[in-house]
Amino acid sequence: MDFILDHLLTLITFSPLAAAAVIALLPSGRHRLIKWSALLLSLVPLTLTLILWFNFDQGGGFQFEKHYEWLRQIGAGYHVGVDGVSTPLILLTGILTPLALIISFSISENVKSYFALFMLLQMGMFGVFVALDLVLFFIFWEFGLVPMYFLINQWGSKNRVYASQKFFLYTMAGSVGMLLAIQMMWFATGGINEGLHQKQRS
């Protein structure tokens, strides 16, 4: 249990990736097996988010932090943690994913791809909520957009191709703006996370 609590956010974030890998290894024609496997595997991050919720100190600041240096030149690294805002969002993501998978049991085309992409989408969402490093946040944000694009394009409604194209254009514009903002912060402060670190020290 100590290991789980010590690496809780990493386990929450990357357990959907492991689930997607397991789903990818299942036979493509076994639709029922794929659907139920995805649902059962989604209960693992749900359980971990519940552990996070019940062990979170409502009176504290950032908690369950892990910080490893990555790109020392720009002050970026693997830095994750949660506060009173991100914790409910993580729990909500953990709860809604199994419900969304149950609703998706009606999917009959490219079933394995759909459920694997859905788990990758969950990983991207978790990563966005736990990231305390701007570069890491940007990577998870971009990662989450990829499965979302294909989910819209392949399994969306009648105008799914048009919707996915608009999604791509709008998110690309937002991502470029975010990347430019991160670069401006780096040039202005000498480290892209200086503002956050100063806030934590205060």
Which of left, alpha, beta for 18 (phi over 0: left; psi -120 to 50: alpha)?
alpha
Q: What is the pLDDT along the chain (202 residues), one digit of tens a residue?
A: 788 999 999 999 999 999 999 999 999 989 999 999 999 999 999 999 999 999 998 877 899 999 888 776 666 789 999 999 999 999 999 999 999 999 999 998 899 999 999 999 999 999 999 999 888 998 999 999 999 999 999 898 788 888 888 888 888 888 888 888 877 776 666 655 654 554 444 4
Provide the residue type at 3 as one letter. Answer: F
Q: How far separated are the first and last CA of the chain, in Å rounded?
A: 32
For residue range 54-65, list pLDDT tens digits in order: 999 887 789 999
What pTM does this model have?
A: 0.87
For residue range 123-151, list pLDDT tens digits in order: 999 999 999 988 899 899 999 999 999 99
